[in-house]
Amino acid sequence: MTVQPYTLREGVPEDGEQIMDVHRRSVLTLGLSGYSQPEVESWAAGLKPSGYGHAMTKLGEVFIVAETECGALVGFGSYRDNEVLSLYVAPEWARQGVGTALLKTAEARIVEAGFQHSRIAASLSGRVFYERHGYEVTNRGTWKTRGGVVVARLDMAKVF
C-alpha cells in the first residue's frame, strides 16, 4: 500500500496565494495540451489571491486542496451544488492521482448533498481526464477568458 505524499482538506481564504500559484502554473503548462500559448496566457491573466477567498465566502464555492506535509499546495478543486467549478494540479504533480483524489472527494460531497448527477464546464485539455472518470460531453460552447480571448469549452455531465 502506497502512502500518498499529500492530504486533502477544505480550502480557506488564506490559501489564496498558493491556490493562485497552482492555478496559474497549471493553466500555463498543462493547458497547452488543448490551447495555444496566447490562449493559455489569456486564461491565466488577472488571477488574484483574493478572488479565491471571495469565491469561498461570497459565492458559496467549496474548495478542496491537496497539501504536502510541508504545507505546499499541489492541487485544488472547487464545487458548488452539483457543479465542479475548478480542478487544477501543479504541473510537477500531474498524473500522480492528485486530480483524481480531488474529483472523487468533490463527487462524494455532491452525492452526499443529494444530487444524482454532476456537471462541469471543462477545458479541452481536461476532456480525456473527465471522460476517464465517467463524464460525457453534453454540449460544446465557448468561454471568454479573464484576458478577453474567447476559447472553446465542453459542457460535461456524469450520472451517479
Q: What pLDDT is attached to residue 117?
A: 97
CA dist 137 and 87 (Å) reads 17
Domain assignment of residue 35, given as a range? 6-159
> Of 90, 49, 44, 85, nearest to 67 (Cα)?
90
Q: What pLDDT is attached to residue 27?
A: 98
CA dist 36 and 89 (Å) reads 19
- Asked whether residue 103 is domain-assigned, the answer is yes
CA dist 96 and 26 (Å) reads 14
**Which cell goes with 132?**
476517464
What DSSP state is assigned to residue 93?
Answer: G
Q: What is the CATH number of the domain that holds 98?
A: 3.40.630.30
Q: What is the pLDDT of residues 77-115, one digit of tens each?
A: 999 999 999 999 999 999 999 999 999 999 999 999 999
Q: What pLDDT is attached to residue 30?
A: 98
- Asked whether residue 1 is domain-assigned, the answer is no
Q: Are strands 73-80 and 83-89 parallel, antiparallel or unpaired?
A: antiparallel
- Asked whether residue 112 is domain-assigned, the answer is yes
Q: What pLDDT is attached to residue 2?
A: 53
- Asked whether residue 62 is domain-assigned, the answer is yes
8 Å CB contact between 144 and 150: yes
Residues of the chain with pLDDT under 50: 1
- Overall domain count for the chain: 1
**Which cell goes with 43?**
486564461
- Asked whether residue 149 is domain-assigned, the answer is yes
Question: Between vectors from CA 74 to CA 3 and to CA 61, what angle results, nearest 5°?
Answer: 110
- Asked whether residue 118 is domain-assigned, the answer is yes
CA dist 143 and 152 (Å) reads 6
The residue whose grid cell reads 482538506 is 9
Q: What pLDDT is attached to residue 3?
A: 57
- Asked whether residue 10 is domain-assigned, the answer is yes
> Of 127, 153, 155, nearest to 39 (Cα)?
153
